[in-house]
A and B are shown apart, each in its own frame.
Chain A
Amino acid sequence: MKALWQIVKLELLANFRSRSFYLLTAAVVLWMTALPAFVKSDGTSEGARQICIHYSLAGAFAMVLMALAGAAAGSLSRERAAKRLQLTAVRPVRFFTIAAGRYLALMLVGTMQIALAGGILTLKSDMDLSRPCDHLLSPVLPSVWEEAEAMYSVYMQDEETPEEVRKMDKREVIRLLAAKAPDHYQTVATNETARWFFPDFVPSGAVKVQLRFTNTYDTREDVCGLFRLGCAEGVVSNITQAVAKVPLAGMIDQVVGERVLEFANQGGGSLMLRPRRDIKLLVEADGFGWNLVRALLELTAILSVAIAFAIFLGAGLSRSVAVFTVVAFLVLALVSPAVVEESDEFASNKYDRIGIRLARVAEKITRPAGSLAPLEKLAGDICVEKSEVAKTILLDFAVYPLVFIFLAALAIPRKQDLA
């Protein structure tokens, strides 16, 4: 433990005694305080709040992420190039301790920077820490694989199905159909009632329905209807927003088990929605303050994976190549989800499918570092669930860093230029 602490202290001193640390701190403060003044909002406090979360906090986090991943990639490789690593390596210290000490120190620096950005955010006048956030509940539906199986024969009989797809292996078509399942539309005709089952919950405050409806022809046409959940009801009419939140008034019964949400379409036209994406229940959780803490924890977890990965790279590669690789990894992590999301494999030829598959692989590999979902949830007043945070902490603070640090410990003595 003494050796670990010494290495942590050394790395912390290296940071605190370098200009880069103070430059980064100044950049974070400047970004958090000055940026909202330059970015044009819609003039409302809600708009200013969105800018603070979406631009300031996300931008500050991106800066911290890039700077510390770069520093982590350079940490071991720079020491090795300067031949200082050999002086540590001849002491009774495990290589794992050398890598772990550097990881812990950089995590401390990163946590300080993220806490600073979060602290500045809470000082903004638009940030009401008691503003409620909601648990987001999705309807209970058959799995995407079950749905794909059910759709397969219908799809293969459809005249518009491309010939190339017909020739494909059944398992491959089912995989593609499963990937498209979240985008399947359900039509609710006039005077028809649709039902969705939701998991049980304890209503501790207000309950709302969040929906995104489109009309068959025009998304701007009026939508009229009635939502019912137990004895609670909510009326929806004349929606012009893309997403609407309908509060439910009245008693929500306490029966344990699945809850049924009904929607009676009382409008003039059929409505279309994707049950997996467009219909949610919002159940009041705690306040913005706690949600911010959970979101910052998740961001710190992303930082943890990036730092551990960068330390591993720095253990085996030269500084510039390690820094480049980690930056490329982070860029790929941010870009690949969009590629995967927006690609349509059915409307592609075989070469394109290879490209999309590569993007999927990249997305899978970089997923631990690529999600800015906590900030999106924070901005949308959606609760960053404790279970998600726990899972992220387990994976990103424990499993991934341990694996990368272990790999770094294996790589350190294998670099011949250690000597």
Chain B
Amino acid sequence: MEAEKVIELAGVEKTFRDFWLRPTVKAVDGLDLSVARGEVFGLLGPNGSGKSTTIKMILGLLGPSAGSIRLFGLSPRSIEARKRIGYLPELSYLHPFLTASETLHYYAGLCGLDRTTARSRATQLLEMVGLEEVAGRAVGGFSKGMARRVALASSLIGKPELLVLDEPTSGLDPVSTNEVKTLVKTLARGGMTILMTSHLLADAEDVCGRVMIVNHGKAVAEGRIGEIGSSLNEFFLAKVGEGRDFKVAPFLQ
């Protein structure tokens, strides 16, 4: 039996327009994508390839110019769909005046959790990300890594069925990166569907079951990690291209 589709994109396009409605950038161009329940799916691509735009359309933050997007068979902007997702953006974007604990309680409230559940989950999550000691400190004074952990915890407070991670290891040291990767694997084993983007192909290789490589808004390759046949790095460069060498300016030579 085919697994339930959590994310379904069919012929999705996104064109950004200026004040006069003239097209400025076509960020996504006819993208088809589907992610089944329990999958860890990696969306890979060079800078400006349309990964973040795709994620934001899946989250309902941006509307597609063409095509259709379904999340759990629903519109991404529907409250029912949003009840079932968690999101970790590329940068942490926390309210600097809230403490770590208050931040988690705030997002728990937005997910409609009652006070007891919120308190219990906040304590467990802070312990999980190793911030229980600083739970009462304002996050405005946190380091980048600590803020990232708070953001990760707050994306999980609603116990989401789908977790969307945009560059989850960005700004983390190697130890923390490992911790996050282990966490993602554990969550996936528990049945959570995970969609992630990453520039670090080794991370994606460790964590993802299936990847899609996008370039200039189009899907250029898709496959299971075990079926690629080479390292993800080689596969990526083969599909996207080696890039060009900088031609050193004459005055620098």
Contact = CB atoms under 8 A, between A and B. Distances in A.
Interface of A: 2-3, 5-7, 9-10, 13-14, 17-18, 82-84, 86-94, 413, 416, 418-419
Interface string B91-111: 101110110001001110111
User: Which interface residue of A84, A88, A92 has the most chain B CB atoms within 10 A?
Assistant: A92
21 contacts: A2-B110, A6-B105, A7-B110, A9-B106, A10-B98, A13-B97, A13-B98, A13-B102, A82-B93, A83-B91, A84-B93, A84-B94, A84-B95, A86-B56, A86-B89, A90-B61, A90-B82, A92-B80, A93-B110, A416-B16, A416-B62
Contacts of B109: 2-3, 5-6, 9
Contact of A88 (B79, B83, B110, B158): B110
Interface in B157-180: 158
A416 B61 CA distance: 8
B124 to A, nearest CB: 19
A416 B98 CA distance: 27
B33 interface: no
User: Which interface residue of B95, B102, B110 has the most chain A CB atoms within 10 A?
Assistant: B110
B98 A91 contact: no
A413 B77 contact: yes
B112 interface: yes
Given A413-B77, A416-B62, A86 B93 contact: yes
The main secondary structure of chain A at its interface with chain B is helix
Contacts of B114: 2
B93 A6 contact: no
A14 B111 contact: no
Given A418-B61, A419-B61, A6 B97 contact: no
Contacts of A89: 60-61
The main secondary structure of chain B at its interface with chain A is loop
A111 B153 CA distance: 36
A418 B56 CA distance: 10
B93 A92 contact: no
Contacts of B89: 83, 86-87
A23 to B, nearest CB: 16
B87 interface: yes
Contacts of A90: 59-61, 82, 85, 87
Contacts of A91: 82, 107, 110-111, 158
Interface string B56-94: 100111110000000000000101101101010101011
B61 A2 contact: no
Contact of A92 (B61, B87, B91, B110): B110
B59 A87 contact: no
Interface in B12-52: 16
Interface string B235-249: 000000000000000
A9 B95 CA distance: 13
Contacts of A7: 110
B225 interface: no
A92 B112 contact: yes
B221 interface: no
Nearest to B52: A419
Nearest to B110: A91
B187 interface: no
A90 B166 CA distance: 14
A377 to B, nearest CB: 40
A84 B150 CA distance: 14
Given A2-B113, A14-B97, A83-B91, 12 more contacts: A2-B109, A3-B109, A3-B110, A9-B106, A10-B106, A13-B102, A86-B89, A86-B93, A92-B110, A93-B79, A413-B63, A413-B77
A191 to B, nearest CB: 74
A88 B95 CA distance: 11
B112 A3 contact: yes
A10 B97 CA distance: 9
Contacts of B113: 2
Nearest to A6: B109
A80 to B, nearest CB: 11
Contacts of B53: 419
B113 to A, nearest CB: 7
A419 B105 CA distance: 23
B111 A92 contact: yes
B134 to A, nearest CB: 17
Interface in B108-138: 109-114
A223 B129 CA distance: 86
A62 B249 CA distance: 60
A13 B53 CA distance: 32
